Every structure is written in structure tokens, then in C-alpha cells.
Structure 1
Amino acid sequence: MAFLATLGMLALYASLLALFLKVAWAIYHDQRRLHIPPGIKYPITLRIYFFFIFFCKQDSFFKETGLRNPFKLIEWLYKRFMPKWSPTLTIKDLVFDDVPVRVYWPKTTPSGKRRGVVVIAEGGGVLGNIGLTDLPCRCIAQETDSVVMTVAFRLAPEHPFPIPIMDCCTATMHFLKNAEEYGVDPHRIVLYGQSSGGSFAVAVSEYLAGKKDLPKLGGQVLIYPALQAIDFNLPSYQQNHSVPFLFKKQAVMIATLLLTPKEVNLEDIMRNAHLPEHVWMKYRKWLNPDDIPERFKGRGYVPMERPPFRPELYEIVKEATNPMYSPLLAEDDVIRQLPKTFLLTCEYDIFRDDGLLFKKRLEDNGVPLTWYHIKEGFHGMLFGYGNWKVEYPGTKLHYQHINNFINRI
């Protein structure tokens, strides 16, 4: 028996050593690719955050927890440690026209109908959902005295584009139509989204722009949004391809999963081989690097010749040109109808130039715009808002600008 126990202990130690070596090698390999520019504040903090997220992605860790990715881990933690009860908010899970939602009401007595905020989760329509938006929903509801609604849209690849975005459209339309039932002024409803949530928010705004039977949206808040899947070699993609939290290859992988569960050659998409010449010519007027101010090219930009077109790739991802998927590509008469906008961009973010090009389109079409640029910012830096244990330094300061905009609606 003692011999068997010793063998068991040795097997356990061997398994732990193997796990340690695997994770250590994976972290070393990924950290070697990681690039933290000198302009980013608190680089050590960023490395610690990235270490945690990278560790959570290791297969051995997830075999033990039954989870698939760090977003699922965060949702799992929220479900177990973030109570739905709040001393300052009433929180209910509801269904809006067959779409599950969660609604947050401040418990204070309002002087009249409140403002409404629709929060759409990041994660590319592939990861995340209500668990990721719970903290910001609580904070926005409390700090702006608004009724906040977030959407549990269905996720790709099981439910590919346009299903996740249409779920957001459906829930938002219900909220607009029935706003007074929830104590909300239907003319003071704001759409809010970070990253792909910002892309979804613009897609919803553009979809609703032609709906004459609905109240007009009061505004939209877009936090470092991804707005196009045409050109993956804009200056910001070249400069920030290996800056955490989002690498260029990861972004392209998630973007293609929203369109199709099929395996695609990500390298060819990253080199812009996925679209034919006539598509490039059609959208060049809105996707021209010449429209990006020169000061954003100072860290390096090399205009790239497009590789040979891959028609078989285009057949798989051609919906990337759909304005609901790439809302930067909407026609001017649609852009003109968008509500007043708060747009936040970050210097060290692959999506920075998506935001800058969208900024130009809004300005050219007379849409009231508040632009806020974080010079030391990177993609995902505002994640964790509302929890001092995981907030990145400076997050509250940046959110003051967001909340001030919402309070003016």
C-alpha cells in the first residue's frame, strides 16, 4: 500500500510539474511576442493583467475548470460571486420579444421619467455577454441615475452574423416602444458599447435610423469600437499588432468566427487578400489612410501592396462588406441620421484608426460628436470598471467623461 501511495504521489508531482512547464513555456513564448510601447503608463500592471488572462487560456487549466476561455472564466466568477441583489439597484432578468435581457433600476425616487442606457457586451459576438456587462451596468445606472438594459444576445459560431446583432436590434426596439413602462423617457435612450459592443451599437443605430415609427435615439457611446473588416493594414493595425490586450491575429480570428464556423486562412485575411478589387475601389473613399492625421503615423506606417485576391476566401467572408457587420461602410444618408455620439479612441489600439475614420464620417455628415482620445491608452483598458480590485489605473477618470456625456442626454 505504501508503495502504491508513493507512486500516486510521484504521478501527482509529475502532473503538476508538466502543467507548470507547459504554462511557463506558453507564457514565455507569448510574452516574447508581447509589445508594450513606452508611452503606456503602468507597464508592469499591464503585464500582470496579461499574465492572468494568458494563464486562463491554457488548455490544462480549462480541463480542470470546464471553462473554454478567459471571458467564460469571468462570467463564471460573476455568476458565483456577484449577487444580483444590490442595496442601490433593483435588478431583474426579463425577456424582450424572445430576447433575454437584464434591467437595472436605481432605487432612488426619480423626479420624472429617467434616461435609458442600452449596454451591448464586447467579445465579438463570440465571447462574453451579460456577465461581462454586469459591473459597468451597475456603475452607469448608479452614477447617471439611468435605467440600464443589457442584452443576452445569442453567440456565434452557433448563431452566426447577423443573429447576435439582430437580437440587439430586437431588444432595443422593444425598449424604445415600451420605455414608459420601465420608467424611461423614450427620447433619452443611449446606446453604449465597448470594442465589438461599440460596433454592434452603431449597427443598431444605423438599423433604427430608418424606423419612422420609433422614437429617435438620444445618443450613442462608443468605446474603442471595431467598425470595419475590410482593411487590416491601417496604421494602427501595423503599429499595435502585438500590443495587449488584443492582438491583430486574435481580432481577425474572432471577426471571422462571427461570420462562419469554417476554418479560414487568417494570414491571408490579415494581408487583405479576402476582397476583390471592385470592393476596394467602392470603399476606398471611406477607408483611405490619407484621411488619418499624420500625427497618428509617427510610430511607423508602410503602405502595403495587396496580395493576389483569394476568391474562395471571399465566398466565405463576403458579408464583411455588409454595413451591419462593418458599420463604417454605411451610406451618407444613414450616417447623417445617427444620434449625437461620444467616441473614445486609444493610441495603442489596433482599432484606433477605425475610430478616427468614423470620426471623420460623423463630422462630414454633421453628426454632433464628442471625441475623447487616450494618448497612453490601449484596447481593453477600461475593462473592470466598477471593481477597484481589477480596475486599471485611471479608469475612473476616463469614465467621468463618458458619464458626463450620458448625463447631458
Structure 2
Amino acid sequence: MDISSAILIIGFAALVAAFLLLVIGLVYSELMNSDIPRGVANSGKLHIVHGMFVGIAIVGRILERLGICHQVSFTRWFRACFLTRLNPVPPGLRVKDLRFAEVPVRVYEPTAAFDGLRRGLVYFHGGGWVMGSINAADEVCRHIAKEAETTVVSVGYRLAPEHRYPAQLDDCEAATCHFLSVAEAEFSVDSRRVAVGGDSAGANLAAALCQRLAKREDGHLPSPCAQVLIYPALQMADFNLPSYQQNHAVPILFRGRVAFYFLQYLNGDMSVCQDVLEGNHVPTELRPRYQEWLSPSSLPPECLARGYCEQPAAEYDGEVYHIVKSGLEPDVSPLLADDAAIQKTPPTFILTCEYDVLRDDGILYRKRLMDLGIDVTWQHVMDGFHGIINFINQGWLTFPSATRVVDSVVDYVKTL
């Protein structure tokens, strides 16, 4: 080996080492900003998962600044290749990839003999309208389909930033309506026993879809018989609720990232992110109504046990409101719908996790539903964190609590 070749090799090695040190330093810095309470299930493993996710995001950010690829594209690719475990289809289940009204779906059908028509569940994955996929929700949908003896349709709706609101909700509506129209003829499913559901952003889409479908006047298709909302994101009016304060730095979802995802869903304008977090986007005339629905006094006392500090009134900024005003509409914030719309929603299952910034969204929506006479089943996971459902049957990434979460969904679906 000549001297010039050796210098090139040493130089390349030095660049790689510098890159790794940079990534490690940034990951360490991010980890120091996180806060995993003792009550979180498998907290040590969550530290590892969080560090890995932060590392992926940082590498993606560096690659984007170098002009190599978009951070979101890199993160999706890495998670699909290395963090999404696709196990062989278990006996007793048939899985098919199809398209419903041009929307990609994956259908999970139990193969065991069944007398009559089965029940169905249309499922929307989470991921902040930016991440997530049919593959990422595969184990969850398999488990529900097999254990609840239910035909499950997982919907691969379009994602931001390539597609903005309302593309995601439109896809969910198109796929759901198609399934309802062919459920009995093609899948031996009773269209009157089809529920919709999802986790996180997927639960947002399920709740918004139920409200949207309730407005239909044609009546040629039955409405969903129930909605299954797993730690749902339901409003972007108040990011200072007790759960946002208590869990602001608990992985996998930080307080600031919720506003980031909502804005990516709407229009991608990150310049107003801090204003949205502070509440400057909420018009003065709307605040009394929102306060009624989002008051911490409407939460169970135990939700305040880990502390809550009432924030001073935000200063309204009309320019910020103009940028994000669609985010306060029911199609994006179902919790902010008027009574008439919520009164038409079907029976509801809501699952919340104690160590989740979105905890209070679900609990406050439960109160609104119950106050209007809607039947609600509520499951609260005391040691749970946001995103836990995705860690079922994922090898070393498996969290035992994830199975309990999915099994609670199974128990509810069996009652439909």
C-alpha cells in the first residue's frame, strides 16, 4: 500500500469516527432531556428504544443537511428495514394485501369455521400522520383478528409531508366505505358490526371519521358500530393540560413533537410551533367554550397528583390562527366538535396511558361522550407510555405491557 492510499484510508476512518462521535454526542444530549419516571413499564428498555429512535432521527437530520436524503424518508426506511418485524402468518389466519377505492389495505381473516357473519374492524395505524405503515401495525392487527375472531382491515393511508390534511382522513373514509359496501358479499362480515379504530394519530382519524360519517344523509351504508381509540390525539387547542406538563419529556412522544406532528399534518409550517404550544392560535371568543371542554377540573383527581401549574392566558395572534385554523375544526380536533356532532358518535372504547402526553385528551373525550349519553368503555394503563402497542411480539423490542393493551382491545371487540 502506498502512502497516498494509507492517507486516504486514515482520512476516511477519521471522518467516520468524527461522524460517530457527533451522533453519539447529540444522542447523549437528547437523552439528558428525557425523563422516564420509575412507574413506566420496562423503563430500562424504553431508555434503549428512545436512544435508538433519537439516533435514527439525528442521522437523518445530518443526511438531510448534506443533501443526501430527507430526514423523514431515512427514518421511514430505517424503521421499515430494521425495526419492523414481520413474522410468519400464524395458523388460523389468512392475510391478503388489497386495494379498497385505490387505497392500499391489508385484510386479516380468521379461517376457523364460523356460524353466520363475522364482525369487522377497520384499523388506522399511528405515527403522527407522518410515520407508520401497514407493516408497522401488522402484529397488532394479527393479534386482534385471531384472538377476537374478527376480520380486520388495516388501512395504508397517505402520509405527510408528501400529502397534507385532509388526504389521510379522505383515504380512511374511502377504504372504510368500500369495506362496508362489500363486507357481506366478499368477506362474510356483517356490515352493521364493523367498528373503526386506531392508535394515536390513527385514533384521531377514527374519531374524526365517525363524526364525518354521522353527517351523511344518503343512508345507503351503515355507520360504524363502535370506535376504538388507543391513546388518541384529539385536539390542538391546549398543549398545557396536566398530562402535557407531567409527561412533557417522557418517550416516545415529547410535548413539542405533538405540535410538530399536527403542523406537519396541516401544512408543514414550523414557524408557528412555539406559538401553538403556548396557545397563541386560539381566538379569544373560542376560549370559554374550549375551557369548558378542556378544563383540568373535569379530570379525575388522580390525574393532578403528579403536579399541575395553571398557565397564564395566552396572547392571541391572528396571523398564527390563520395558519393553523383548520386544526381547530372537528375533522382535526374531534374533541372540539359541538354537542350535536358528538351525540351521533357510536359506542366507544378509549385506552389511555398514565405516562403519555395525550392521556388527558382521551379522558376528557370520555367525559364529553358520557355527558351526552354515549356508552364508553375506558381502560387506563398505569405503567404505560405512548406508542406501547407497537411493541407486541417484536423480539427483543417486545414490552409485556403491549400484550395487555392489545388484549384489552380484543376483549372489547368481542362484545360488538
- TM-score, structure 2 length as denominator? 0.92
Mapped to 2, the partners of 1:72 and 1:319 lie a distance apart of: 30
Q: Give secondary structure in 2 for the equivalent of 1:54.
A: helix
Tell me which moved more, 102-111 or 319-328: 102-111
CA shift in 2, pair 1:11/1:86, >3 Å:
farther
Confirm or deny: 8 A CA contact 2:194 2:224 kept in the other structure.
Answer: yes
**Structure 1: segments with no counterpart, 5+ residues:** none
Please say if 1:137 is aligned against 2:126: no
Residues 280 and 316, structure 2, Cα contact 8 Å, conserved in 1: yes
Amino acid at match of 2:132: G
Superposed, which structure 2 residues align to 1:71-82 within 5 Å? 71-77=76-82, 82=86
Output the amino acid matched with 2:206.
A
SS of 1:225's equivalent in the other structure is coil
1:93 to 66, 90, 97: 97
Corresponding position of 2:408: 401
RMSD: 2.1
Question: Which whole-Å CA distance do the structure 1 matches of 2:48 and 2:281 have between them?
Answer: 36
**What's the CA shift for 1:166?**
1.3
Q: State the one-letter code of the partner of 1:360.
A: K
The verdict on how the C-alpha distance between 1:400 and 1:60 changes in structure 2, with shifts beyond 3 A counting, is closer
Q: Does 1:197 align with 2:197?
A: no
Other-structure match for 2:167: 163
Distance in 1 (CA, whole Å) between partners of 2:70 and 2:238 is 36
Equivalent pair of 1:75/1:128 in contact (CA under 8 Å) = no
Q: Structure 1 84/312 Cα, relative in aligned 2: closer, same or farther at 3 Å?
A: farther
Deviates more, 1:28-37 or 1:91-100: 91-100
Q: Which of 247, 256, 274 is matched with 2:254 structurally?
A: 247
Post-superposition offset of 1:62: 7.9
Partners in 2 of 1:36 and 1:313 — Cα distance?
Answer: 33
Q: How many angstroms does 1:65 deviate by?
A: 9.3
CA shift digits 1:278-301 (9 cap, x unpaired)? 121232221222212222112111
Tell me which moved more, 198-207 or 287-296: 287-296
Structure 1 residue 70: Cα displacement: 3.8
**8 Å contact kept, 1:271–1:306:** no
The equivalent residue for 1:48 is: 48
Asked whether the 8 Å contact 1:125–1:156 carries over to 2, the reply is yes
Note closer, same or farther for the CA distance 1:62–1:102 as it changes in structure 2 (3 Å cut).
farther
Question: 2:120 is matched with which residue: 116, 121, 135?
Answer: 116
Which of 369, 375, 382 pairs up with 1:368?
A: 375
CA apart distance, 1:394:
2.2
Q: 1:390 to 1:276 in 2, by over 3 A?
A: same
Contact 1:161/1:258 (<8 A) preserved:
yes
How many angstroms apart in 2 are the aligned matches of 1:78 and 1:25?
23
Correspondence list, 1:59-70, <5 A: 59=59, 63=63, 68-70=73-75
Q: 2: CA distance between counterparts of 1:114 and 1:218?
A: 13
1:107 is displaced (CA, Å) by 2.5
Q: Percent identity?
A: 36
One-letter code of the match for 2:154? Answer: T
The structure-2 alpha-carbon separation of the partners of 1:78 and 1:23, relative to structure 1 and needing over 3 Å to count, comes to closer
Residue equivalent to 1:280: 287
Q: 2:191 aligns with which of 186, 190, 200?
A: 186
Kindly tell me the number of residue pairs found equivalent between the two proteins.
Answer: 408
1:69 and 1:38 mapped to 2: Cα distance? 32
* Partner Cα distance (1:175, 1:77) in 2: 32
What secondary structure is seen at the aligned counterpart in 2 of 1:389? helix
Offset at 1:9? 2.3
User: 1:82: Cα distance to partner?
Assistant: 2.8
Cα 1:327/1:88, change in 2 over 3 Å: same
Other-structure match for 1:355: 362
Q: TM-score, normalised by structure 1?
A: 0.94
Distance 2:60 2:386 in 1: 27
Q: Distance in 2 between matches of 1:55 and 1:403?
A: 34
The answer on whether the counterparts of 1:274 and 1:309 sit within 8 Å (CA) in structure 2 is yes
What corresponds to 2:131 in structure 1? 127
CA separation of 1:177/1:60 partners in 2, compared to 1, >3 Å: closer, same or farther? closer
Alpha-carbon shift at residue 59 of structure 1 (Å): 2.3
